[in-house]
Amino acid sequence: MTDIPLSASGAAAAARRRRLNPTLARYLSAFRTPRGIIGLSILTVMALAALLAPLLFPGGYDQQGPNALAGPSGGHIFGVDEFGRDIFVRSIYGLRVDLSLILTAVPLSMAIGALFGLAGAISEWLGAAVQRLLDVVIGFPGLILGVCLVAILGPGWFALFLTILIGGLPTAGRLARSAWLSQQGREYVLAARVLGVSRRQLLVRHVLPNAMDSIVVNGSVWMVIGIYIEAGLSIVGLGVQPPTPSIGVLLNNGLRFVTQSPTYIIGPAALLLLLSVGFSLVSDALNEAVNRR
């Protein structure tokens, strides 16, 4: 049997698959480690509970009862709040808010930050200007940035979304820029330029793959930070506004009634800790997989 030669487009597609598969395999291998399995299991259970909350609790999160600030019981494992609402049900619905924030704001932040970091590939002047802008952003701690945005936009989901998105831009931008600066002097990049390969192709084929590992790991770390940004701003009343629940809103309420019901805060705090542990374990697993390369 004679071998049938691949066309140029077929060979290019095969080459792209060979470049992509090791990267995907490396990321997937992170979820076969003990940390990855435990972290992914925690996040999967919490995400499913949040997603299926309307089916699991058809009465909704605002259904009131007669026993205000009652402690944990068989019917209310986290107890009830000041209006007799089940804290566990409100915590599960609150997970929907937290997960919707970090699973939309963080990936978008990493993508935009990477594009900002690669602005130097278009123009050195533009790249330097973007980096100075990112330096200004990184000078604001996440909570201070959130307070400024809330003062302009008012409290709510969108202000939290922008706080997490903008706060993650500088690190992603620096990682992408460092990848560009480290790759542009390599021999194969210089050879590609001599052969007429466009700058866009250089970015897609060489720079982004080399920056992707650090950006992915940084994104998983920033998800943990985003959880605490939401909680911190909501605790001081600058996040999602009642009666809509979030983990931070429930912690805020629990602190106000901690003397009447000391157990109020325990359930939401445990879910906050569990969510951050899940993302931290996934981040550690991804970092370990990347460093094994």
Q: For the segment 189-245, what is each residue's pLDDT rounded down to a tens digit? A: 677 677 776 777 777 777 777 778 888 888 999 999 999 999 999 988 888 888 889
Confirm if 223 and 33 have CB atoms less than 8 A apart: no
Confirm if 87 and 79 have CB atoms less than 8 A apart: yes
State how far the Cα of 169 lies from the Cα of 166, in Å rounded to an integer: 5
Q: Which residue has the higher pLDDT, 207 or 16?
A: 207
pLDDT at 23: 66
Task: Give the pair of three-digit tokens for residue 134.
Answer: 């990112």
Question: What pTM does this model have?
Answer: 0.84
Amino acid at 181: L
Q: For the segment 84-95, what is each residue's pLDDT rounded down to a tens digit? A: 999 999 999 999
Among 132, 131, 163, residue whose Cα is nearest residue 147: 163
The angle that helices 247-256 and 266-291 make with each other, rounded to 10 degrees, is 140
Among 248, 234, 254, 237, residue whose Cα is nearest residue 81: 254
Q: What is the DSSP string of 129-160?
A: HHHHHHHHHHTS-HHHHHHHHHHHH-SSHHHH
Among 290, 120, 107, residue whose Cα is nearest residue 203: 120
Among 115, 121, 112, residue whose Cα is nearest residue 184: 121
Scanning the structure block, which residue is given the tokens 């820029």? Answer: 177
Q: For the segment 113-136, what is each residue's pLDDT rounded down to a tens digit? A: 988 888 877 777 887 888 888 888
Percent of the chain with pLDDT over 70: 89
Res. 16: pLDDT tops 60: no
Query: How many Cα neighbours within 13 Å face the side chain of 169?
Result: 22
Instruction: Indicate the SS3 state at residue 80.
Output: strand
Q: Which residues are bridge partners to 86 per DSSP?
A: 80
Scanning the structure block, which residue is given the tokens 């990112």? Answer: 134
pLDDT at 123: 74
